[in-house]
Amino acid sequence: MLKINKKDLINIKELLINNTISYGKFTNKQIIEKLELNGSITILRKSAQRKIINLIKEKNVYLFLKSNDFNIFSIVDFGLYISELCDKTPQRAKVQKWHGSTKIKNSHSLKGLYISSLNNLEIKVNDEVINIVPTNGIGYFCFYTEKIIIDKDTVIVGVENYQVIWFAKKYKSFFKQRNILFVVRNTYMREWICNISNEYIHFGDYDLGGINIFVNEIIPILKKCKKYSMFIPDNIEELIKKYGSFDIYKKQSRYMDIIIVDEKIKKLKNIIIKYKKGLEQEGLYLL
């Protein structure tokens, strides 16, 4: 994972706005290498001393940022990110909002469930009815000691990344079921789903590591669940071919020999190996 400082974030923003920027402006040249590798930019030499970076594919820049745990999806986000997070003492709430990994600032994760929904959804927390309202930029947190009860027809969708919680409505077209409860996968989520019989859908990353999580971590604990599956878009091959990352793939060779029973997941694994690329789940709504 690359460290991107404030100056280079401003440079990336300038590239997106102007479609071009001087090569020499970037302090971390690895950023340029990664952007060129994923098809975001091309580099032109104007003279022996001067290179120019031209933007090719804006969407790939945002995918690059996401692959490095930055929750920046628009030009507006850059300004907000820089003003909120790049101060000297950012609050944890700001860190979590803009960065996929709160490890960039030393802070311990809250213990409990991070949830959201696609439509207004009622759940019970300690026998009190709570209405989950999907709102962009907002998720819900239930402390691990709380007693959480959901209706039997509510489908639990396990996700890997917090931005799915905060921007749940962006994924509405992917799920036909009305009563969907998104839950971030963590220790407390795994303990919770062990004891429920609701349908479970795993909405993970489309890489070998994501498959391994579902097959070897999630499925074995779904003992009471009557129905479970992994959500795989019909056009996943096209998406991986066009937008997948070799960097993701090459780090996950240890999962190459994973044993898979489900035919749809076998097909997904073969596609990943065919193109030697992986695609993170949050990349879907940028496409």
- 117 shares its domain with 68: no
Domain membership flag for residue 23:
yes
Q: How far apart are CA 67 and CA 71, in angstroms?
A: 9
Residue 271, SS3 per DSSP: helix
Domain membership flag for residue 1:
no
Q: What is the mean pLDDT of the chain?
A: 85
pLDDT in tens, 219-273: 999 989 989 999 999 999 999 998 888 988 988 988 999 999 999 999 999 999 9
- 23 shares its domain with 96: yes
What pLDDT shows up at residue 110? 63
What pLDDT shows up at residue 265? 96
Grade residue 93 by pLDDT with cuts at 50, 70 and 90.
Answer: very low
Mean pLDDT of 173-197: 90
- 68 shares its domain with 132: no
What pLDDT shows up at residue 107? 38
What pLDDT shows up at residue 171? 86
- Domain extent, residue 45, equals 6-103
- 134 shares its domain with 262: yes
- 152 shares its domain with 99: no
Nearest CA among 77, 129, 120 for reference residue 98: 77
Please report, in angstroms and rounded to a whole number, the separation of the first and last CA atoms in the chain: 22
pTM above 0.85, yes or no: no
Kindly state the greatest CA–CA separation across the chain: 71
Q: How far apart are CA 228 and CA 43, in angstroms?
A: 46
What pLDDT shows up at residue 84? 54
Q: How far apart are CA 207 and CA 269, in angstroms?
A: 8
Q: With 60 as the cut, is the pLDDT of residue 19 above it?
A: yes
Q: How far apart are CA 78 and CA 86, in angstroms?
A: 11
**Which tokens go with 36?**
């060129």
**Which tokens go with 223?**
């003992």
H helix or E strand, kind and range, residue 142: strand 140-143
Q: For the chain, what percentages of helix, strand and coil (3-state, to nearest 5) are there?
A: 45, 20, 35
User: Checking DSSP bridges between strand 200-203 and strand 155-159, what pairing results, if any?
Assistant: parallel
